[in-house]
Structure 1
Amino acid sequence: MDIVRPEFVPDPSLSTAEMEALQRDIAEAAVFADEFAFDPDAVSLDGPAGQQTLGERPASVADDTATEGADQPLVAGVDQAFVGDRAISAIVVLRGREVIERVYAVEPTEIPYVPGLLSFREGGAILAAFSALEHVPDIVFVDGSGRIHYREAGLATHIGVTLDVPAIGVAKNLLCGRPRESLDRKLPEGARVAIEADAEVETATDGPIIGYAVQSRQYDSSSQYINPLVVSPGHRVSAATAADLVVATAAGYKLPEPTRLADAYADSVKGDL
């Protein structure tokens, strides 16, 4: 995939003030509404009989031989792992349950982790992995925040806008924003709680929905519970559709399959390195 907005490529040599200013520009360029050509109802893990199960295709295989289910959108998952001062970015592309392509890239991390500036630490490796990708995904799931961010420009938004690809942020923790209901309780599987912008979101007025806490999986036990995922639009997708697509790609695990498989692939590459 090619970079569409080179002016937004993350530059870790920028000062903190310059990074934050760039994020404000990215947020202004981002589209937090559905703007894509595929049918969101076609995004699922269902597929034709006999289709390969997730994860069976070897990492080196990347072809277009699968014709069945070709009308299903291509969904990519992105996740990172680390070896010393190097970031491994792994991308897994799915059509239904079929793994179409897997790629990874390894790049140095030139700055430490700073809350709100994650894309300047990991973005280089992610864009390098996308440059090696042969297929153009219809939607990208990124392990990180999208609009739920201090300047509405989390990792998913930064990557989505730079590549001009529909993107969703799937985070494990709430960076900012105000849930409409308490998340400090056991939510039933399938539940969603709207996250509103609050005073910490400096680029938004107080009140709009910037994402959802999504309960993708829950224990049956009364003594244990799983925390919800924090889902937000990255680019060219609405908050509600982002939540819908995460639920549609859940398969009995907390993480949706695109990022779950990317996480596993990144760990596998890390083990090899």
Structure 2
Amino acid sequence: MRASRPDLEPDPTLSRKEMETLQREIADAAVFEDRFEFDPETLSNPLEAAVSGREPPTVVGVDQSFLTNEAGEQDRALSAVVATRGGEVIERVHAVTPLESPYIPGLLSFREGRPILAALETLSVEPDLLLFDGSGRIHFRQAGIATHMGVVLDVPSVGVAKSLLCGTPRESIENLPAGACVPIEANSRVGVTDGTLLGYAVQTRQYDSPDRHINPLYVSPGHRVGPETAANAVLELASSYKLPEPVRLADAYADEAKRDLGC
């Protein structure tokens, strides 16, 4: 698959100020509402797809691992992509590319974006929905990696983060029951009006014990998906694990590919 907006691709040679300016441009180009053609009810349920007469959408999970040189320094990214349809894996691809930027909070896409685009370019199927291990609109400039990649590719995308980068939960997120969704609103750290709905804390799984608990995921729209649909999609795609299955499979595939390389 090719970039729809190559002019917005992450450029790790930019200055920090230029990167932040580009992120604001990406946020302006992003669509944080539902604009897709697939039926969300068929995301992981082939029976529902059969009843509706529509083929389940192709949902692609994206994750990364990193390779080190002889000095023990991370110098390459391994980007893993797993395409699923109706809960079944239909394609797996990965790419290994040089790391061109250090990790800087809030600028993750300039470190990982080019490697991800390299892997997605080798994918033969067309994604209906991309799920990223990272933020979407829950970001200081509303342009996390899911938003950046979604806009560049013009594909519906969702960010699934394990920690809250910014924003404020509308209520407590401690020990939420499975299936609960708590709105995350913009605060003064986000470049949008305070109180704007950015996404949700989504509790996909929870222990049945008062002494142990699982933290929620922080789910936000990347592009062409609204916050409610993003949260519902993650709940629908999570099976026996905390992460939605396409992202979990991409994470496992990244480890597998790394082992195959002897790393």
User: Which residue identity is paired with 2:66?
Assistant: F
What displacement does 1:70 show?
Answer: 7.1
> Which residue in 1 is equivalent to 2:158?
168
Question: Matches of 1:271 and 1:112 in 2, distance apart?
Answer: 24
Letter in 2 for 1:80: Q
Deviation at 1:47, TM superposition (A): 3.1
* Number of residue-to-residue matches in the alignment: 250
> Once the 2 structures are TM-superposed, how far is the Cα of residue 108 of structure 1 from its aligned partner?
1.2
2:76 alignment counterpart? 86
Tell whether the 8 Å contact from 1:70 to 1:95 is kept in structure 2 after alignment.
no
Equivalent in 124, 141, 146 of residue 114 of structure 2: 124
For 1:42-61, what aligned pairs fall within 5 Å after superposition? 42-44=42-44, 46-47=45-46
Q: Deviations over 1:199-241 (max 9, x none)?
A: 0002x11111100000000011110000000000000000000
Structure 1 vs Structure 2 CA RMSD: 1.0
**Is 1:150 paired with 2:140?**
yes
Aligned counterpart in structure 2 of residue 72 of structure 1, from 56, 64, 67: 56
Please list, as runs of the form range in 1=range in 2, the aligned pairs for 1:126-141 lying within 5 A after superposition: 126-141=116-131
Distance 2:209 2:163 in 1: 22
Asked if the contact 1:167–1:235 (Cα under 8 Å) also holds between the matched residues in 2, the reply is yes
Whole-Å Cα distance in 2 between the matches of residues 73 and 179 of structure 1?
31
Q: Deviations over 1:136-183 (max 9, x none)?
A: 010010010000000000000000000000000000000000100122
**1:216–1:250 Cα contact (<8 Å) kept:** yes
- CA offsets, 1:59-102, max 9 Å, x none? xxxxxxxxxx9711100000000112111111100011211111
TM-score by length of 2: 0.93
The corresponding residue for 1:33 is 33
Which residue, 189, 192, 199 being the options, matches 1:200? 189
Flag structure 2 segments of 5+ consecutive residues without an equivalent: 48-52, 69-74
Partner residue in 1 for 2:220: 232
Partners of 2:211 and 2:66 in 1: CA distance: 34
Match of 2:184, as an amino acid?
A: I
Question: Using the alignment, how far apart are the partners of 2:140 and 2:97 within structure 1?
Answer: 26
The runs of at least 4 aligned residues of structure 1 exceeding 6 Å deviation read none
Determine which of 177, 182, 196 is the counterpart of 1:188.
177
